[in-house]
């Protein structure tokens, strides 16, 4: 078992990940311990989702190791167990023909962990579902509505609630703010900031500003090129240009990346 001092922690050592001959991440190192927020920023195709999947053990790297709470989980998602919650990138388009409510969505993920019977939740589990739905701020009247009738922000909250059901120490979220309108983003960013006070939260994003005040560490990533450090060290005009190229535009003391901007 891991010593208590290593929890919650993530350590990525000389990670190289590729798909066939296509090397996406090379020799990547990062380490963080304790509650806080790591923001992963980079353009489309930079390897953000690939890195999250490698951290979760869902992808076996070509080289390198991943340690969660001091335990080597490289290529083995089961080893991290319920200490890690995952919020995948939300799909926004298309109609889902199978209506499922927010409650049912969370309940079903709880039942999946059960051996037998997989039909009814206990009173204790029911209270846990209520707790996580309240925690993410989903209004009670939305609990039993179809997921597909909720707003993008509400749906994202349900995904986060589902990841919280086993009270993980580490929460990995893939672009939780991207499918949400500007008004919803601010509230969601606040929720993510609150979660990062008690958990180690790893978030990918296309807008560094929304989560900046909650951010402990930043990983600027564009495939084999990366910079990892404190926000004030990493989020500079020079680094943004190296990662985003033409999309990083300095305006006085700020640097803009498409519609987001960084204080240089």
Q: Which residues lie near ligand ATP (CB under 6 A)?
A: 19, 24, 42, 44-50
- How many angstroms from the chain centroid is the CA of residue 244? 21
Residue pair 48/174 in contact by the 8 Å Cβ criterion = yes
Letters for 2-41 (x = contact with Mg ion by CB under 5 A, - = none) are ----------------------------------------
CA-CA distance, 192 to 177, in Å (whole number)?
Answer: 10
Shortest distance (Å) from residue 185 CB to Mg ion: 17
User: Any contact of residue 178 with Mg ion (CB under 5 A)?
Assistant: no
3-state secondary structure 74-121: CCCHHHHHHHEEEECCCCCCCCCCCCCEHHHHHHHHHHHCCCCCCCCC
**Residue 46: which of ligand ATP, Mg ion, none does it interact with, CB under 5 to 8 A by kind?**
ligand ATP
Shortest distance (Å) from residue 243 CB to ligand ATP: 11
Q: Which is nearer to Mg ion, 48 or 128 (CB)?
A: 48
Provide the token pair at 252.
Answer: 């006085």
Shortest distance (Å) from residue 87 CB to Mg ion: 12
Q: Which is nearer to ligand ATP, 90 or 110 (CB)?
A: 90
User: Any contact of residue 49 with Mg ion (CB under 5 A)?
Assistant: yes
Question: What single-letter DSSP state applies at residue 58?
Answer: S
Shortest distance (Å) from residue 19 CB to ligand ATP: 3
In the block, which residue shows the tokens 């790591």? 38
User: Any contact of residue 216 with Mg ion (CB under 5 A)?
Assistant: no
Relative to beta strand 22-33, strand 36-41 is: unpaired
Shortest distance (Å) from residue 49 CB to Mg ion: 3
**Residue 34: which of ligand ATP, Mg ion, none does it interact with, CB under 5 to 8 A by kind?**
none
3-state secondary structure 168-186: CCEEEECCCCCCCCHHHHH
Q: Which is nearer to ligand ATP, 47 or 61 (CB)?
A: 47
Residue 148, CA atoms < 13 Å, CB-side half-sphere: 8
Q: Which residues bind Mg ion (CB under 5 A)?
A: 48-49
């Amino acid at each position: 078992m891991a010593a208590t001092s290593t929890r919650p922690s993530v350590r990525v050592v000389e990670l190289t990940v590729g798909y066939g001959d296509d090397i996406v991440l090379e020799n990547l190192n990062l380490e963080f311990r304790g509650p806080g927020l790591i923001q992963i920023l980079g353009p489309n195709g930079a390897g953000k989702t690939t890195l999250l999947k490698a951290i979760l053990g869902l992808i076996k790297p070509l080289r390198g190791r991943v340690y969660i709470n001091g335990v080597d989980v490289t290529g083995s998602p089961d080893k991290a167990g319920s200490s890690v919650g995952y919020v995948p990138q939300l799909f926004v388009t298309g109609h889902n023909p199978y209506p499922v409510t927010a409650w049912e969505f969370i309940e079903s993920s709880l039942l999946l962990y059960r051996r037998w019977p997989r039909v009814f939740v206990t009173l204790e589990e029911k209270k846990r579902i209520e707790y996580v739905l309240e925690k993410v701020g989903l209004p009670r009247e939305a609990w039993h509505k179809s997921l597909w009738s909720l707003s993008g922000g509400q749906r994202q909250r349900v995904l986060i609630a589902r990841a919280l059901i086993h009270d993980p120490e580490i929460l990995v979220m893939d672009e939780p703010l991207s499918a949400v309108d500007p008004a919803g983003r601010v509230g969601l960013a606040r929720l993510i900031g609150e979660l990062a006070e008690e958990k180690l939260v790893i978030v990918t994003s296309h807008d560094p500003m929304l989560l900046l005040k909650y951010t402990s560490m930043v990983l600027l990533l564009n495939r084999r090129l990366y910079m990892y450090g404190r926000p004030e060290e990493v989020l500079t005009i020079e680094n943004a240009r190296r990662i985003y190229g033409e999309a990083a535009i300095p305006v006085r003391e700020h640097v803009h990346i498409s519609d987001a901007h960084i204080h240089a």
